Amino acid sequence: MKQDLKIITFCCNWCSYAAADLAGISRLQYPCAIRIIRVMCSGMVHPEMVLHALNQGADGVMVTGCKLGECHYQEGNHAMLSRSEVLEEILADFGYEKERFQLVWLSAAEPERLVEAIYEMHNRLLALETDPGD
Amino acid sequence: MTEAAQAEAEKIGAIMVVGGGVSGMQAALDLANSGFYVHLVERSGAIGGTMAQLDKTFPTNDCSMCIIAPKLVECGRHPNIKILTLAKILDVEGQEGNFTVRVKEYPRWVDPDKCIACGQCADQCPQAVEDRFNGDLAQRKAIYIKYPQAVPLKYQIDPDACLWLNNPGQCGLCARICPADAVNFADREQKQTIQVGAIIMAPGFQPFDPGTSQAWGFGRYPNVITSLQFERLLAPTGPTGGVVTRPSDGRPVRKIAFLQCVGSRDKNRCNNEYCSSVCCMAAIKEAMIAKEQLDQVEITIFHSDMRTHGKDFERFFIQAKVEYDINFVRTKIHGVEPQGNKGNLRLHYVNQQGKQVDQLVDLVILSVGLETPDSTLGLAERMGIHITPDRFASISAFMPVSSSKKGIFTCGAFNGPRDIPQSVIGGSAAAASASQLLAPARHTRTQASCTPHEVPQKANSPRTGVFICHCGSNIAGVVDVDELAAYAATLPDVIHVEQNPFTCAQDTQDYITQQIREKQLNRIVIAACTPQTHEPLFRRTLRAAGINEHLIEMANIRNQNAWVHKNEPARATIKAKDLIRMAVAKIAIQEPLYPLRIPVIPSALIIGGGVSGMTAALNLAGQGFKVDLVEKSTTLGGNALHLYQTWSGEHVPRYLKELQQQISQEPRVAIHFNTTVVASSGQAGHFKTTLRAGNGRKKSVDHGATIITTGGKRYIPSEFGYGQIPNVVASIEFDKLHMHNEIRVTQGKSFVFIQCVGSRNEKRPYCSKSCCTHSIQSAIKLKQEAPERRIYILYREIRTYGQRERIYNQARELGIIFINYELKGPPIIGEEGGRLLVSSRDHVLHRPLEIEADMVILATATLADPGSAELAKLFKLPLNQDGFFQEAHAKLRPVEFNTDGVFVAGLAHYPKPVEESISQALAAASKATTLLARESVELDAITAHVDPEFCDGCGICLEVCPYQAITLLATIDEQGEEHKIIEIDPALCKGCGICQGACPKRGVYITGFSYEQLLAQIDAALEPPKP
C-alpha cells in the first residue's frame, strides 16, 4: 500500500492557525494527511517553498491566511494572492497538477471552513492518485 | 506632613475594576500596563461580557471572538491583573485614594488550579440545561465552561442543575472522571476585603426582556427572537453552527423582519425613554450576514429613524440598501400576530405612502434595547453613585467617566447605551482618570517580572530536550506516547526526552527548569497543545532556567492532532512523530533573540489645543509627565469656542475658561502658540519632532508619545441660498445671534432648521453626529423664550442617540414640528417680499408644504481639517475616505494607530459631541501613559533581518512592506564600487515576513520564521519514515 498522503499546510498565526486549534477544541475530525507549519502571515510564504515541498514529495500544499481585507498586517494575504498566479504557472511548468496547490482564506473563528477545505483538498488529491490517466 | 500630603502618601496603587466586559478589560489592561495592580471582579464564571456572545461587529463585520480573544488572554495572564470570577461587591468604605471593598466569591466547585479544561466532566455529566450564553437556544451541561474561549478556561458547576449539589451522593460522575481531581463538592463561598485606591465600574447592561409585553409575541411564538439570540444563530460557534433556520421547525427562512426600538424610545410598554444607540447598526449587520448566507431571503427593517451616526456607519447603511437589497421601512409596528399554525407571523403597519399593509414573515427579530440591571442599580446605591432618570450612571459631559462619588469612575454601557468602541474608549478614559488620581502610588503594588540577567550569546550547538505532554488522556488516550518518546530520543541533537502527565502544571515548570540546568539543554521542544495559549508560559520557564526564551518550539500534538484524529490512533501517532521531528529540526537552527530596548522619554507632544488636546495635556501633566502642546492659532479652545452648551445643558464657555486657566497654571505643560509641526522622526518612546513658530523659527522637541487632536472644520454651505440670503444662517452663527439677542432672533416668529446640510450626501456619506441635538436644543430655547413661535425642523433622520432622546421628546411636547425630507427632494428656499418661503413635502399628509420663515438655520456638516493630510504624511498615518484619521482598529483600538506611540482623539478622528471628545482624549492619554510610565520599551523580537551575503538591493521588499520599515542604502566598498543593500528599521518592522516571501535572493529573513527554518520543517515533515 502506498503510504498516506501528506499535505503541507501553511497556517497564519492570526487566523487559520487559531482556527486549526479551534477545530481541535470543537473535536472536528479531518484526514491525518495535514502537516501544519505556522507562519506569521501567509505573505511570508515564498513561492519557492511551495515548489520545494512538492519536489520533496508533498502530495499537496495549502496556504491559508486571513480573509482578504482582514490581514493582520494590512495586505500580506494580497501579496500571497498575487504571487499565487505566477506560482500556478510555475507549478504547471514543473508538471504539477493545479489541484496540488490551494489558497484558503478564513477567519480564526471558522474552523469548519478550514476542515471543509482540508477535505476538499484531500479528496482532490485522492482523485489524482486513482486517476488512470496519471 | 500636611493633611493633603498625607492623603497623597496614603494612596493605594491598586484599582478594582468591576465587570469583565470589553470596557472593564480595557481599563484593567491600561492600568496594569501603567504600573498599577488591578483586581478585575467578574460576576459570571468568565470574563468577556456581551462582546464574546456576538458573531460579528459593525461596521467592518469583523469576527467578534477573533478580535476580543487576544484581550481575554492578555487579561488572563497579566502578572498585574488578578481576575476574580463568580464574585460580587458587597460594600465599599473609605474615600478616593483609599477604599476598602468587601467582595464575595461564589463557589465554582472546580479547583481552577487543577482543572485542565479537558471537558471529560461535561461529556459525562447527565444533566443538560438551557445555555444562557447561547440565548437559551441550545443546551449545556450542569458542569460547563461559559464558552469555548473563556478566560479563565476553567469548568464551573451550575448549582441549580447539578445532581450532587442538590442531593449529595447522587451522581458525582464528573468528580470520578476528572483526570486532574479538580472537582470539589466541598467548595464554599468566600468573602475577602481588598484595599484599592480607586474603583472603576464597568458592570455593563442587560438586554431588554421583550417577554414583559404581549405585543411582540416573544415567548409565545417561537419564531419571534431577540437580536442577541439571532446573533447566536449566526455565530459559527452557536447552536446551529451558524446556519439560520426557523426555531419552530428548523426549516429555511425566507422572510425576516427586524423590529427596531423594542424596549427603547418607548414610554408606554416599558419605561425606557432613551435610544439604545447600537440596535440600528446591529440590525443592519445581522441583516447583512443573514443575506450573505441566504441569498434569496427577503429582509425588512422596520424603524423610526435609522441611527447610523458613528464613523463609517452611514456607508454601511447605504451598502445594506444598495448592495444587499435590504428594505428599510419607517413605521411603528404595533403587534406581531400568528398566521396559520405553521409558525408564520403577520405584521400590520401603515407604510410611508400612508397605506395599510399586512406582511407575512417566517422570522421576527426584536432589536432589544440596553438597560441597567437592578443589581447594578442596587450596588450603585450602596456605593453612593447618582443615577440618571434613564437609570444610567450620572456623569458630567466634562468629566465623562467620573461618577458622582470621588475616586469611583464609570465606563461602558453603564454610562448610557453605547457600542464597543465607545466602551473601549470609556475603559481607557476611566483608566486615565484613575491613573491621574493615583499617580503618586504608581509601581508600588505591581510585581516586575523577575528575569535573571541573561548574557547574550551566539547560537551554540544544539542540545535539545523534548517534553511530551499526555494532557491527561487528551493526548495519551489517542497517541502512543511511549512509542513517541522512544522515537523522539532517536532524533538528531536530542539529549533528553521526558513524558509529563501535564506539562503546563506549575510543578512541571520547576522540573523542566531543573532538567535544563542539569542536562545543559539549550533547545526545548514541548509536544503538547498550542503555542497560542501556552508558549508564553514555557518562555517564562526558559527564562527562569537562564536560557534565551526564544529557544523553544511547540509541537501541537493535541489541538491539531489527538483531538482531530481521535478515531485513528495509529495514524495520529505517526503524525505526532512528524510534528516532533519538524519542531526539532526548526529549533536546531533557531538563534537566541534579544529584542531591542529603547529608553522612553517621559513626555508627550500634543498637536492641537482644542478641548481634546487640553484634556489630554492636563491628564498627562497631572500624572507627572511633561507635555508640549502645539496650537496653530493664538488661542486655546478650538472648535469648542463656538459651542454654547452640551446636550445635557452644561455651559461650555465656562468650562473652556476653566480648562484654559488650569493649563496656563500647569508647570509641566509648555504651550506653543502659532506653531505647526514640520518634521518628525523616531519611534514609540523616542520621537524627535521639529516645530515651526509663526516667526519662522524652528525648534526640536524630544518626546515619547504623540497625540493628534487637530480637530475639524465646519462646512460652509453653497446650498439653500447661504451667503446670498441674509436670513439663512449656519447653526453656529445662529447661536451667536441668539446669545446676543440680535433683533432678527428676538422679533422672529417662525424659524426653520434644516438638517444634514453637507452631511449624508454623495460627496460626504457620513453623519456629523451632533447637529440633530444642536438644532433641537436651539429650537427648545427659542420655544421656551416665546411659546407662540412656530418652529420647524426639517430632517432626514433624527439622531438623538442615547439619553439625548429626552430632549427630542421634550421638543415634540413643546410643539416643535418635525418634518421629514428625503435626500432626493431637499427643501427649497425662496424669498417673497422680504420673507423666506421654505417648500418641502409633508410626510404625514403626503402633500407639498410651504412654510413662511423669518430665519432658516442650516445644521452644517463637520469636516476633516485640511491640515490632516500633511500631518498624516509626517507621521505615516492613514486617513479615511473623508479625510479623518483612521484608527488602528475601529472596535478595539479606537485611539491608536498601527504606528506605535501615536494616538488620536476628538474631531480629528470623526465628528462627535464634546463629551465624546473628552472621553477619547482621556483614552489617548491612557494609551500614552502605558508607554510613558515605562523606563524602556522592548520591541518585538520577531523581526526582519538582512543577510548581506545575499541581498543585492533590488528593492522588491520596499514595495511590499506595509510599514515602510525598509530603506535602500548605497555603500561603497574598498574597490570604490557602489553596492546597494536594504536596511530595516527594527522599530517599524512588525515581523510579518512579507519581505521574506517576496525576496528573490533570500536576502531577508524573519527571526524565528526564517526561510531555512520553514524549509527545515518542510523537509522534516516529508522525510520518509525509517523502517
pLDDT tens digits for B628-652?
999 999 999 999 999 999 999 999 9
The span from the CA of B235 to the CA of B369, in Å, is 20
Exposure string over B955-979, b if 16+ CB within 10 A, otherwise e: ebbbebbbbebbeeeeeeeeeeeee
The stretch B5-13 carries a mean pLDDT of 89
Of B564, B575, B1011, Cβ closest to residue A24: B564
Burial (CB < 10 A; 0-12, 13-18, 19+), residue B213, is: middle
Interchain CB distance below 8 Å, B1022 and A83: no
Residue B149's pLDDT is what?
78
Task: Give A45's contacts in chain B (Cβ within 8 Å).
Answer: 997, 1014
Residue B226 corresponds to which cell in the numbers above? 431577540
Q: Which residues, at least 6 apart from B331, have a Cβ–Cβ distance to it below 8 Å? A: B302, B349, B350, B351, B352
With an 8 Å Cβ cutoff, is B556 touching chain A?
Answer: yes
Relative to beta strand B464-469, strand B494-500 is: parallel
**Confidence at B961, pLDDT banded by 50, 70, 90:** very high
Instruction: Evaluate if residue B261 carries a pLDDT over 60.
Output: yes
| 387-446 in chain B: CB under 8 A from chain A | none
The 8-class DSSP code of residue B620 comes to H
Q: CA-CA distances (angstroms) from residue B594 to B590, B940, B952, B988?
A: 12, 9, 26, 16
Least trusted range by pLDDT, from A34-38, B237-241, B569-573, B626-630: B237-241
Interchain CB distance below 8 Å, A108 and B63: yes
| Secondary structure in 3-state letters for B527-585 | EECCHHHHHHHHHHHHHHCCCCCCCEEEEECHHHHHCCCCCCHHHHHHHHHHHHHHHHH
The stretch B943-967 carries a mean pLDDT of 93
| B834–chain A nearest CA distance, Å | 56
Least trusted range by pLDDT, from A107-121, B359-373, B548-562, B774-788: A107-121
Instruction: Evaluate if residue A131 carries a pLDDT over 80.
Output: no
Interchain CB distance below 8 Å, A35 and B1025: no
For residue B39, the cross-strand partners are B16, B82
| Secondary structure in 3-state letters for B801-840 | CHHHHHHHHHHHHCCCEEEECCCCCCCEEEEECCEEEEEE
Relative to beta strand B87-95, strand B98-105 is: antiparallel
Q: Which of B278, B301, B276, B279 is nearest to B291 (CA)?
A: B301
The span from the CA of B228 to the CA of B305, in Å, is 21
Over the stretch B302-358, which tens digit does the pLDDT of each residue have? 999 999 999 999 999 999 999 999 999 999 898 899 999 999 999 999 888 888 999
Interhelix angle B531-544/B506-519, nearest 10 degrees: 50
Residue B450's pLDDT is what?
47
Contact B598, B686 (CB under 8 A): yes
Question: Taken in order B9, B14, B18, B23, is the CA torsion positive or negative?
Answer: positive
Rg over alpha carbons for chain B, rounded to the nearest Å, is 31
- Locus of grid cell 529557544: B551
Least trusted range by pLDDT, from A17-26, B452-461, B659-668, B749-758: B452-461
With an 8 Å Cβ cutoff, is A85 touching chain B?
Answer: no
Q: Which of A118, A111, A121, A117 is nearest to A17 (CA)?
A: A111
Give the DSSP H/E element, type plus range, for residue B498: strand B494-500
pTM higher than 0.90, yes or no?
no
Contact B52, B75 (CB under 8 A): no
Contact B717, B759 (CB under 8 A): no
Q: Which amino acid is at B253?
A: V
The span from the CA of B261 to the CA of B721, in Å, is 37
The three-state secondary structure class of B401 is: coil
The span from the CA of B991 to the CA of B543, in Å, is 22
Task: Give A73's contacts in chain B (Cβ within 8 Å).
Answer: 962, 990, 992, 994
The span from the CA of B516 to the CA of B497, in Å, is 11
Residue A18 CA, distance from chain mean position: 15
The stretch A54-79 carries a mean pLDDT of 91
Q: Which residue of A has its CA nearest to B944?
A: A44
| B575–chain A nearest CA distance, Å | 7
Residue B58's pLDDT is what?
92
* Domains along chain B with CATH numbers: 1-106+189-205+372-452 (3.50.50.60), 107-187 (3.30.70), 207-370 (3.50.50.60), 464-588 (3.40.50), 599-712+871-932 (3.50.50.60), 716-860 (3.50.50.60), 944-1006 (3.30.70.3270)
Least trusted range by pLDDT, from B88-92, B246-250, B537-541: B537-541
Task: Give A5's contacts in chain B (Cβ within 8 Å).
Answer: none
For residue A8, the cross-strand partners are A35, A61
Residue A55's pLDDT is what?
96
Over the stretch A8-45, which tens digit does the pLDDT of each residue have? 999 999 889 989 998 987 789 999 999 999 999 999 99
Residue B1009 corresponds to which cell in the numbers above? 520564521
Task: Give B528's contacts in chain A (Cβ within 8 Å).
Answer: none
Q: CA-CA distances (angstroms) from residue B675 to B611, B697, B698?
A: 17, 10, 9
Residue B235 corresponds to which cell in the numbers above? 455565530
Residue B547 corresponds to which cell in the numbers above? 536560557
Of A46, A70, A73, Cβ closest to residue B62: A70
| 582-601 in chain B: CB under 8 A from chain A | 582
Of A41, A52, A57, Cβ closest to residue B992: A41
Exposure string over B870-897, b if 16+ CB within 10 A, otherwise e: ebbebbebebbebbbbbbbbbbbbbbbb
In B185-242, which ranges are E strands? Answer: 190-196, 198-201, 206-207, 224-226
With an 8 Å Cβ cutoff, is B633 touching chain A?
Answer: no
The stretch B734-760 carries a mean pLDDT of 96
Least trusted range by pLDDT, from A7-11, B100-104, B241-245, B861-865: B241-245
The span from the CA of B143 to the CA of B145, in Å, is 7
With an 8 Å Cβ cutoff, is A68 touching chain B?
Answer: no
Length of chain A: 134
Instruction: Evaluate if residue A134 carries a pLDDT over 60.
Output: no
Instruction: Evaluate if residue B451 carries a pLDDT over 80.
Output: no
The stretch B707-726 carries a mean pLDDT of 96
**Best A10, A32, A110 residue to mutate vs chain B (most B CBs within 10 Å):** A32
Query: Model ipTM?
Result: 0.97
Residue B288 corresponds to which cell in the numbers above? 447583512
Least trusted range by pLDDT, from A123-132, B361-370, B883-892, B1008-1017: A123-132
Tell which wins on pLDDT, B242 or B1000. B1000
Of A32, A36, A112, Cβ closest to residue B236: A112
In B190-294, which ranges are E strands? Answer: 190-196, 198-201, 206-207, 224-226, 255-262
B288 Rama sector, left if φ>0, alpha if ψ -120 to 50, beta otherwise: alpha
Cis peptide before B826 (omega within 30 of 0): no
**Confidence at B873, pLDDT banded by 50, 70, 90:** confident
| 90-129 in chain A: CB under 8 A from chain B | 107-112
Residue A1's pLDDT is what?
38
The stretch B778-784 carries a mean pLDDT of 97
| A72–chain B nearest CA distance, Å | 9
The stretch B142-158 carries a mean pLDDT of 92
The three-state secondary structure class of B971 is: strand
Q: How many CB atoms lie within 10 A of CB B780?
A: 19
Q: CA-CA distances (angstroms) from residue A131 to A31, A53, A127?
A: 20, 22, 6
Q: Which of B339, B429, B463 is nearest to B612 (CA)?
A: B429
Q: Which residue of B has its CA nearest to A35?
A: B1021
Average pLDDT over chain B, rounded to an integer: 93
Residue B393 corresponds to which cell in the numbers above? 450612571
DSSP codes joined into one string, B624-682: T-EEEEE-SSSSSBGGGGG--B-TT--BHHHHHHHHHHHHHH-TTEEEETTEEEEEEEE
The span from the CA of B720 to the CA of B728, in Å, is 8
The stretch B486-493 carries a mean pLDDT of 96
Q: How many CB atoms lie within 10 A of CB B593?
A: 16
The three-state secondary structure class of B483 is: helix
Instruction: Evaluate if residue B937 carries a pLDDT over 80.
Output: yes
Q: Which amino acid is at B767?
A: C
With an 8 Å Cβ cutoff, is B559 touching chain A?
Answer: yes
**Best B145, B560, B577 residue to mutate vs chain A (most A CBs within 10 Å):** B560
Instruction: Evaluate if residue B431 carries a pLDDT over 80.
Output: yes
Of B564, B1011, B1021, Cβ closest to residue A6: B1021
Residue B459's pLDDT is what?
63
With an 8 Å Cβ cutoff, is B1025 touching chain A?
Answer: yes
Q: Which residues, at least 6 apart from B269, have a Cβ–Cβ distance to it below 8 Å? A: B212, B213, B215, B263
